[in-house]
Structure 1
Amino acid sequence: MELSKDEKEILNGRDGNAAAKSMQILYALGEIFGAEKLIKVSSVQVAGVSYNNLGDAGLEYINSLAIDGKVKVKTMINPAGMDLVDWDEMSIPETFAKKQIEVIAAFRKLGIQISATCTPYLIGIKPQKGEHIAWSESSAVIYANSILGVKTNREGGPSALAAAIIGKTPYYGLHLDTNRQAQIKVNVECTPGSQSDFSALAYAIGKKIRNKIPLIYGIKQATHDQLKNFGAALATYGGTAIYHINC
């Protein structure tokens, strides 16, 4: 992957340790997936927020980034491992709570908005069609690609955090129009009505198509919430991060 002069200087430590580490991650990803360059992103959503996921090693890593790092674009986080306000009323062990609070403090120090939501598009991040973003949560990623018409891969926590600090992501996968095209046609002969119907339909489709990108026919109408539920179930049971629907 080709880096610009500015990106090479960041990689070599010009902007500090956090930026250098983040550029190392993005460069490695770009090399692995054959990206030709880095591209700017307008927003980031970071998953892997729970201390159960991170452990002490993950907490140490985020703290190391927070020493001299700051995010360059609007960034939110996924839900944490507990309610951040009323955890003590929910029988959360204090030892866990203290570690989770440390995690949140590190994210806050980096300049990240402590949203703790898997639906960032409902509370302040709603990118415009065609924009490139770097989101992590599977239901948010498939919603962004399929409903909003923006472009994102499903990022892991470290790669999303790196993208937030650099403000860029490797140009591969679903950032490329050629990789967003339908790979299989699905004809729906039933008439889903409730949100649960749409979730069940997506479950059935996902189990059949796995990670292929579907073009779905036969659904005459659908509400915003029905499509949101459909995408969440499809991403969970099928593994795809985008779908096309003709309705």
Structure 2
Amino acid sequence: MINMFLTKKEEQMCDGEFGETIRKSMDILVALGDIYGASKLVDITSAQVSGVSYKTIGDAGLEYLEDLARDGSGKATINASLNPPGTDLDNWKELGFPEEFAIKQNQIVDAYANLGIYKTCTCTPYLVGNVPRFADHVSWSESSAVAFVNSVIGARTNREGGPAALAAAIVGKTPLYGFHLEQNRKANLIVNVDCKINGADFGALGYIIGKFVGGGVPYFNLMNSPNNNDLKTLGAALASSGSVALYHMENITPEHKNAGKDDVEDIMFVSRDQINETRQKLSTTDKKPDLICLGCPHASLDEIKQVASIVQGKTIKNKLWICTSVSVKATSDRMGYTKIIEQAGGNIVCDTCMVVAPIEDMGFEVIGVNSAKAANYVPSMCGLDVVYNDVENLIQFK
């Protein structure tokens, strides 16, 4: 029995009058709506779909996607971006990715494309054209992207699973509950940081607060003003150590004035000692990393520019990957940053991310990261040690 209100057209979608792919998509959305007590479906302007890496969805996921695509009755009806796969789709062989894995991975991405999902292959869709407006309802699924679009842009999404975001992309709607509702976007923890922070400090701060607040909504008071890369790093850490989908920041994020901070009773203070201690704890070994992997979430052009300035005219001792989208790399190519990094011995790796790539099968043992999200996930998902630090402290030169 469906408890959520459906329009006549939505009922027809559920009955299969628009094809099996749309019917299956509606089944997912209606089930979610009923579970979470949604009153109705709401139109969305954007989707971001996870569940892409062959490492995480395997043959069963590939079969499901190809079955949906084979039906041909439903494709994405709104701007829908794809999350990172497990390889660089074009240069997997040169980078040493396993061939069988790469072939399966390309089949998965092709199946998504047949469903109308753009092959953007990035966890930072807001850097490559998928930029909702303030207060837009969207359906995004990658955890760091959810935190960014809710918090920094001020659009509205729950932390969707991949199948739900795909269903929403096809139908163009999502259930109206959770962070789509104004009353659920209020802060429930005030975080006062008593020192200036920069670089990897933001990841450490996010890791601390995410573990404490879980799925809550923190409100940050900082002593210095962050840039968008810092906010990206903070949100990714909040979402990985906890399940934070939305945060506010005094005089920075667009909803901070409406976050209800004066009604919040729980206040937490974070010191420089706590941040430094967390930075140390995020490393699992004292060994030197054999691969430095940056771009979790995917690197922006400014972050690539920073690395180019660090390595220019030098030779890197350990391997260096900077993960980003093909769109950002194209601009990096034009600006000459890619050439500088490659001449130093590094690589800009498109599409993938070290967390969902099969790096454990590629001969690496210790991964150097400047992302608290990566430091949190690589040991559990890849079985490898990590060293957590700022970029300039990770890269070694001959």
Report the TM-score when normalising by structure 1. 0.96
Give the aligned residue type for 1:30.
G
Give the aligned residue type for 1:78.
N
Is 1:51 the counterpart of 2:54? The answer is yes
Cα offset for 1:91?
2.8
- Deviation string, structure 1 residues 187-244 (Cα, Å, up to 9, x no partner): 211211x221221222222222222211122434121211111111111112110011
Cα offset for 1:60?
1.3
Distance 1:158 1:107 in 2: 11
Is 1:204 the counterpart of 2:208? The answer is yes
Of residues 216, 232, 243, the one that matches 1:239 is 243
Matches within 5 A, 1:1-247: 1-67=4-70, 68=72, 69-192=74-197, 194-247=198-251
Could you say what secondary structure the match of 1:195 adopts? Answer: coil
Distance 1:57 1:116 in 2: 20
Cα offset for 1:87?
1.0
In structure 1, list runs of 5 or more residues that go unmatched: none
Q: Which runs of 4+ in 1 moved over 4 A?
A: none
Hey, what does 2:313 align to over in structure 1?
none
- Deviation string, structure 1 residues 19-48 (Cα, Å, up to 9, x no partner): 000000000000000000000110100001
Greater mean alpha carbon deviation, residues 143-152 or residues 196-205: 196-205
In structure 2, list runs of 5 or more residues that go unmatched: 252-398
Give the aligned residue type for 1:202.
G
* Alpha-carbon contact 1:219-1:246 (below 8 Å) kept: no
Could you say what secondary structure the match of 2:196 adopts? Answer: coil
Distance 2:57 2:150 in 1: 27
Could you say what secondary structure the match of 1:142 adopts? Answer: helix
Q: Alignment RMSD, CA only?
A: 1.2
Give the aligned residue type for 2:35.
I
Number of residues paired by the alignment?
A: 246
| Larger Cα-atom Rg | 2
* Alpha-carbon contact 1:217-1:245 (below 8 Å) kept: yes
Distance 1:111 1:213 in 2: 33
Could you say what secondary structure the match of 2:38 adopts? Answer: coil
Greater mean alpha carbon deviation, residues 40-49 or residues 84-93: 84-93
Give the aligned residue type for 2:154.
G
Give the aligned residue type for 2:206.
A
Greater mean alpha carbon deviation, residues 201-210 or residues 81-90: 201-210
Distance 1:54 1:218, change over 3 A: closer
- Deviation string, structure 1 residues 99-124 (Cα, Å, up to 9, x no partner): 11111111111111101100000001
Higher RCO (CA 8 Å, separation ≥ 6 residues): 1
Report the TM-score when normalising by structure 2. 0.60
